[in-house]
Structure 1
Amino acid sequence: MFNWDDLRFFLELARKGRLVSAAQRLHVDHTTVSRRIAALEQAMDARLFDKSPQGYQLTEAGQRLLPYAEAMEAESINVLKDISGKDAQLTGTVRLATTEALGSQVVARHLPQFRALHPGIELELIAETRRLSLSKREADIAITLSRPDSGRLIAWKLGTYNLKLYASPGYLESAGPIRTAEDLTSHAFIGYIDDLLQMPELRLIDQLVKDPNFVFRSSNMMAQYNACLEGVGLALLHAFMAEFDDRLRPVLADEIEIRRELWLAVHEDLRSVARVDAVCQFLTELVRDHQSFLMGRPDSKNHEEPIA
């Protein structure tokens, strides 16, 4: 029989990926974490982690153990709530995966509110255009651009946002007027690197223009944004970033407006974990309360400062 308490060390190392980080969270020395993991592996007669320069990654056996350990953690919290009548303190790490623009310009800018509500939760934000697997525990929660269609996931729609075509006044002055969609064929475009883009929902410019003339591509949305500011070309940008920036102008605003959905997904094994549920609730309310802003419309109740 293994020591149940060793599962705390297993969970923290699985989440943090490094002995020192796990030890800091558990308030012990890193050698203690190593010793407890070794004891658990010996008791189970299985290697649970592979060590690499990037840290500790779960083996196949570790992946199989993870949902059981998380379920035991959730049940221990429920026991405390049921027997003592006290809510367990919300502590630990939650990893959120989302698109770069939403993560950097919406979620990150509202971290003070989240910290005030849940000071014991450490939020890790992965804001980029590649897909992460919730089933493989690459993230605990994901905000996606479409409803997940596979895996043991629970998902619900958060809201919507708009994208529009923008350019700097300098570019429009030098490159010539754009009166119709046909005029776009002679203009320069900024966009994503196709073979690095794992979210097809972001591959949009090709739908607007046949064989667009791309002069700059980047996997980084802020790089595209800044290139557009500098007059490099036209860019399809999030309205909640560009609409409130007086350094940019919408192009064919009455004709070009693309609406995208935001979905929140969480693995069903984690849905009842208190800290994960707390983050889910915060994100759901955040998007709901800032829906007008996400659509690129002013909202006096939740006014947002433009991108600096």
Structure 2
Amino acid sequence: MFDWNDIRFFLELCRKGRLTEVAKALKVDHTTVSRRILSLEKQLDAKLFESTTRGYVLTQAGERLLPHAEAMESASATIQDHVGGENRNLTGVVRLGVPEGFGSQFLSKDMPSFQALHPEIELEFVANDRFVSLSKREADLSITLERPRSGRLISKKLTDYSLRLYASRDYLAKHPPIKTVEDLKDHNFISYIDELVPDPQMLYLSEFVASPNVTLKSSSIVFQFQATVAGAGISIMHCFVADEHPDLVCLLPEEIEVNRTFWLNTPEDIHDLARIKAVTQFLTELVDRQKKKLLGVLE
């Protein structure tokens, strides 16, 4: 029988690809990682990894072991959650992959409420607009712009949200008036860098303005927001952020509106863990309470 503890080292090396990164994650020396992997290979009488210039990659034997190792990891977490510490409060780490704007400008404001409800759950936010890999445990939960089409995931619609066109009062005072979509041809815009945009559906501007004069680009929606507030140009922003800023004016709301959906995704094997369910419930209830804000419905 092989040492079950070696499976942790196997999984981390699968996900990180380098001994030094695994050592950092597991708080051991990299020689310990190497020794544990060699021990597992010896006990299984199979070579699990090949060392390449890109790091360690799985052999065919390693590929066959991977789903079983992930099942063991899941079973271990389930045992701890369902059996261990029955009288304790919810504890543990939950990592959430979330779009930058939604995480930093919406979810962050309600973190004190979550901490009050679950003081022993540690939340980690991976602010990223690309799809984080749940199978590689880059996150425990993810919020995405599209519903994933593959993987052993449980996905559900979290909420709809809206985006509209905004400019600062200072910008509008210094530039020609905007009464129709045609007037926009004479204005400066702020948008994403096309080749760096993580999802094509985030290139909203081209849906409404033919050949817009984009004078400032950024891969960060937070940067775009701050630049818009500063008067650097006009941009399409999330209503849940822009409507709350007193210096921003919504332009042509009847003509220009983008409607999108956030999806909440969880790996099947950890979906029922108590700490995961606690975070899922909090997110679901939060967006339900804030639905008008997300959709840009003004009171």
Aligned partner of 1:140: which letter? Answer: D
RMSD over aligned Cα atoms? 3.4
After superposition, residues 116-265 of structure 1 pair within 5 angstroms as: 116-265=116-265
State the TM-score, normalizing by the size of structure 2: 0.81
**Is the alpha carbon distance of 1:182 and 1:51 closer, same or farther for their aligned partners in structure 2, counting shifts above 3 Å?**
same
Paired position in structure 1 for 2:281: 281
Name 1:46's counterpart in structure 2.
47
Change beyond 3 A, Cα 1:153–1:76: closer
- Please say if residues 176 and 186 of structure 2, whose CA atoms lie closer than 8 Å, have aligned partners that are also in contact: no
Deviation at 1:232, TM superposition (A): 1.2
| Counterpart residue identity of residue 226, structure 1 | Q
Q: Distance in 1 between matches of 2:89 and 2:50?
A: 28
Partners of 1:91 and 1:59 lie apart in 2 by 33
TM-score w.r.t. length of structure 1: 0.79
| Equivalent pair of 1:131/1:199 in contact (CA under 8 Å) | no
Which AA in structure 1 matches 2:131? R
Q: Is the 1:164–1:236 contact (alpha carbons within 8 Å) kept by the matching residues of 2?
A: yes
Structure 1 Cα separation of the partners of residues 269 and 121 of structure 2: 19
Going from structure 1 to structure 2, the CA distance change for 1:293 and 1:82 (only over 3 Å counts) comes to: closer
Structure 2: distance between partners of 1:229 and 1:137: 37
Identify the residue that residue 304 of structure 1 maps to in structure 2. none
User: Which residue pairs with 1:19 in the alignment?
Assistant: 23
Q: 1:65 to 1:118 in 2, by over 3 A?
A: farther
User: Cα deviations across residues 148-190 of structure 1 (Å, max 9, x unaligned)?
Assistant: 2233322100111111110011111111100011111111110
Quick one: structure 1 residues 18 and 85, their matched pair in 2 at CA, closer, same or farther if it must change by over 3 Å? closer
Q: Following the alignment from structure 2 to structure 1, what is the Cα–Cα distance between the partners of residues 49 and 118?
A: 31
Distance in 2 (CA, whole Å) between partners of 1:275 and 1:51 is 37
CA contact (8 A) 2:14 2:58 kept: no
The amino acid of 2:163's aligned partner reads L
1:92-129 per-residue CA deviation (whole Å, 9 max, x = no partner) reads 44332221111112223333333344445443322233
Residue segments in structure 1 that go unaligned for 5+ positions in a row: 300-308
The CA deviation at 1:195 is: 0.7
Q: Residue 174 of structure 2 aligns to which amino acid in structure 1? A: S
In structure 2, relative to structure 1, the CA distance for the partners of 1:35 and 1:93 (3 Å cut) is: farther
- Paired amino acid for 1:46: K
Shift in alpha-carbon separation, 1:52–1:162, aligned structure 2, 3 A: farther
1:246 to 1:127, Cα distance in 2 relative to 1, 3 A: same
| SS of equivalent residue, structure 2 residue 270 | coil
Q: How does 1:78-93 map to 2 (within 5 A)?
A: 78-79=78-79, 86=86, 91-93=91-93
Aligned length: 293
Q: CA deviation at 1:245?
A: 0.4
Please tell me whether the aligned partners of residues 22 and 30 of structure 2 are also in contact (alpha carbons under 8 angstroms): no
3-state SS of the aligned residue for 2:254? coil
> Using a 3 Å threshold, how does the CA distance of structure 1 residues 120 and 242 change in structure 2: closer, same or farther?
same
Return the letter of the residue paired with 1:242: A
Aligned in 2, Cα 1:113/1:172: closer, same or farther, shift over 3 Å?
Answer: same
Amino-acid identity (%) = 46
Q: Does the residue aligned with 1:269 lie in a helix, a strand or coil?
A: helix
Secondary structure class of the residue paired with 2:269: coil
- Compared with structure 1, are the counterparts of its residues 235 and 81 closer, same or farther at alpha carbon in structure 2 (3 Å cutoff)? closer
Q: Counterparts of 2:277 and 2:260 in 1: how far apart (Å)?
A: 25
CA distance in 1, matches of 2:281, 2:290: 14
